[in-house]
A and B are shown apart, each in its own frame.
Chain A
Amino acid sequence: MKKTKKVILSIVIVFILLGGGVFVGMNWSHWFSNQTISNVDKNAQDYKGNKETYTGKKNTDTIDIPGFDKLTFKAGTKKQKVNFYNPKQNTCYFRLSMCLQDGTKLWQSQLIKPGKAIYEITLNKGLKTGEYQNCLLKYECFQLNDEQTPLNGSQINFNLSVLE
Chain B
Amino acid sequence: MKKMISSGLTFMMLLSTVVTPICAAETTDVIYTQGNNYTISIPKTVNLKQGEEVNTQIQATQMNVSPTEKVQVSVNSGLTNGQVTLTHDNGTDQTTSKVSLTSNGTAINNNSVVASFESQDLNAKEGGTLYFAGLANNLKAGTWKGQMTFDIKVVNK
Q: Residues of A at under 8 Å CB distance from B?
A: 60-70, 87, 91-92, 141, 150-157
Residues of A within 8 A of B36 (CB): 68-70
| Known contacts A61-B44, A69-B154, A92-B44; is-contact A152 B35 (Cβ 8 Å) | no
Number of A-B contacts (CB under 8 A): 84
Q: Is B102 an interface residue (CB 8 A)?
A: no
> Which A residue sits closest to B154, measured CB to CB?
A69
Q: Residue B35 contacts which of A65, A68, A157 (CB distance < 8 angstroms)?
A: A68
Taking a contact as CB atoms under 8 Å apart, the answer to whether B41 and A62 are in contact is yes
> Which B residue sits closest to A140, measured CB to CB?
B149
Taking a contact as CB atoms under 8 Å apart, the answer to whether A63 and B149 are in contact is no
Taking a contact as CB atoms under 8 Å apart, the answer to whether A67 and B71 are in contact is yes
A38 to chain B, nearest CB (A): 42
| Known contacts A152-B150, A153-B149; is-contact A67 B39 (Cβ 8 Å) | yes
Number of B residues, CB within 8 Å of A: 26
Tell me the interface secondary structure of chain B in the complex. Answer: strand
Residues of A within 8 A of B147 (CB): 150-153
Q: Residue A152 contacts which of B38, B39, B57, B148 (CB distance < 8 angstroms)?
A: B148
B57 to chain A, nearest CB (A): 8
Taking a contact as CB atoms under 8 Å apart, the answer to whether B44 and A91 are in contact is yes
Q: How far is the CA of A153 from the CA of B35 in the complex (A)?
A: 24
> Which B residue sits closest to A70, measured CB to CB?
B35
| Known contacts A64-B39, A67-B39, A68-B37; is-contact A152 B153 (Cβ 8 Å) | no
Residues of A within 8 A of B44 (CB): 60-63, 91-92, 141, 151-152
| Known contacts A150-B147, A151-B44; is-contact A87 B152 (Cβ 8 Å) | no
Taking a contact as CB atoms under 8 Å apart, the answer to whether A65 and B37 are in contact is no
Residues of A within 8 A of B37 (CB): 66-69
| Known contacts A68-B35, A68-B36, A69-B36; is-contact A152 B42 (Cβ 8 Å) | yes
Q: Is B80 an interface residue (CB 8 A)?
A: no
Q: Residue B149 contacts which of A87, A91, A154 (CB distance < 8 angstroms)?
A: A154
Residues of B within 8 A of A70 (CB): 35-36
